[in-house]
Structure 1
Amino acid sequence: MSESKRLFFALEIPGDIQQHIVRWRAEQFPVEAGRPIAAANLHITLAFLGDVSEEKQRVLAAQASRIAQPGFQLRLDDAGHWPRSRVVWLGPRQAPRGLLQLANLLRAQAARSGCAQSPQPFHPHVTLLRNAQHRVALPPPGFGWTFPVDAFVLYESLFEQGRTRYKPVDRWLLK
């Protein structure tokens, strides 16, 4: 019997933008504000798949490879705090249509393949801090980072030596 993997589709945050975000986060939040997410783990989840068998992974990858959608520009210019989940996040004030279409398509494909999807509406975001206790001041006008999105990635979530790490498994270009 094959072993399952904990998988999700996501957008990568370019390395230079990751570093800018990490520096900004360090300036904005005291150490005790919450548990910071490692720079290499910063991403925007499009569809969480959960524990997936190799066979189901192949089906989902085949479906993802058939997505024909143009790339888009993404601007991370909003931030907030979800008290219930104790998360501080960064995201787009206005999500581009391409992002919403891609997430809806991947979530629908995942649901049809038997991967339970959250009933919550899709809210594109980068998790910055977990176990956050404090409210977040809204960012000033002109705040943010913009970058082109020309691909999406299938990641595996690994828990090793007390840390979570996200490993890219497959990647598809947007046309």
Structure 2
Amino acid sequence: MGQRMPRLFFALDLAEKQNLSARKEIVALKAQLSEAGKPVQDNNLHLTLAFLGNVSAQHTSRLRKQATSIKAGIIETMTSQVGYFDKPGAVWLGLDPAPGLTSLADTLQSLSASITGQQFEQAYVPHITLLRNASTPQPISVKPLSLTFRRFGLFVSEPDPERKGARYQCLQHWPLNEGHIGEI
């Protein structure tokens, strides 16, 4: 029987120390909305840049090597509103499209497409998924929270039978350059 290919994604991690205060508020917001669906595990909160799906070991190696050459600046953004994606049934916290955020996502999606052949058909919507298997939440206003990202990473999604969900583990991080805030 063949080995299962890992499910990968590039993301910005909320666990960076400068975001811990905002992360606590995001966890509290998630708890406030939890009646609408299944909360994402606190340690799985992240901002996806490019979801790659199942990726072979050969493609993973090439992605890691090529990601090293990406030059991008530190990303500073603010949370904006709670939203809902109907098709996957996901409640999310939106982020303002900060300088460099969309460019970094586009760069990583292009890199991924050139290596894996995957096409990204939907426009990039910067968000943090809070709930899955959710219904439309009641309208709620959110306090704007400041987030600063100094690195991006390649993550693997692994089954977590104990929690009946997934566990995300970072395979590798790459720094965002301090000298070029928001620039690619």
Gaps of 5+ in 1: none
CA contact (8 A) 2:55 2:116 kept: no
| Aligned 1:57-96 pairs, distance under 5 A | 57-92=60-95, 94-96=96-98
Which of these residues, 107, 110, 114, is aligned with residue 108 of structure 1?
Answer: 110
Does structure 1 residue 173 correspond to structure 2 residue 178? no
Map of 1:149 onto structure 2: 149
Residue type of the partner of 1:59? R
Map of 2:181 onto structure 1: none
Q: Offset at 1:147?
A: 1.9
Where 2:102 maps in the other structure, the secondary structure is helix
Residue type of the partner of 1:83? D
Quote the Cα distance in structure 2 between the aligned partners of 1:153 and 1:55: 18
CA contact (8 A) 2:14 2:46 kept: yes
Deviations 1:16-71 (A, max 9, x none): 433221112223x2x43101101111111111111112221111111110011111
Map of 1:4 onto structure 2: 5
Map of 1:120 onto structure 2: 122
Map of 2:22 onto structure 1: 17
Quote the Cα distance in structure 2 between the aligned partners of 1:84 and 1:136: 18
Quote the Cα distance in structure 1 between the aligned partners of 2:116 and 2:88: 25
Q: Offset at 1:117?
A: 3.3
Aligned identity (percent) is: 33
Quote the Cα distance in structure 2 between the aligned partners of 1:2 and 1:81: 35
Which of these residues, 31, 38, 42, is aligned with residue 26 of structure 1?
Answer: 31
Gaps of 5+ in 2: 178-184
CA contact (8 A) 1:81 1:136 kept: no
Quote the Cα distance in structure 2 between the aligned partners of 1:61 and 1:22: 30
Quote the Cα distance in structure 1 between the aligned partners of 2:45 and 2:117: 23
The alpha-carbon distance between structure 1 residues 102 and 89, as it changes in their structure 2 partners (threshold 3 A), is same
Quote the Cα distance in structure 2 between the aligned partners of 1:18 and 1:117: 31
Root mean square deviation of aligned Cα: 1.8
Quote the Cα distance in structure 2 between the aligned partners of 1:148 and 1:22: 17
Structure 1 length-normalised TM: 0.89
Q: Offset at 1:138?
A: 4.5
The alpha-carbon distance between structure 1 residues 46 and 115, as it changes in their structure 2 partners (threshold 3 A), is farther
Quote the Cα distance in structure 2 between the aligned partners of 1:54 and 1:84: 30
CA contact (8 A) 1:11 1:44 kept: yes
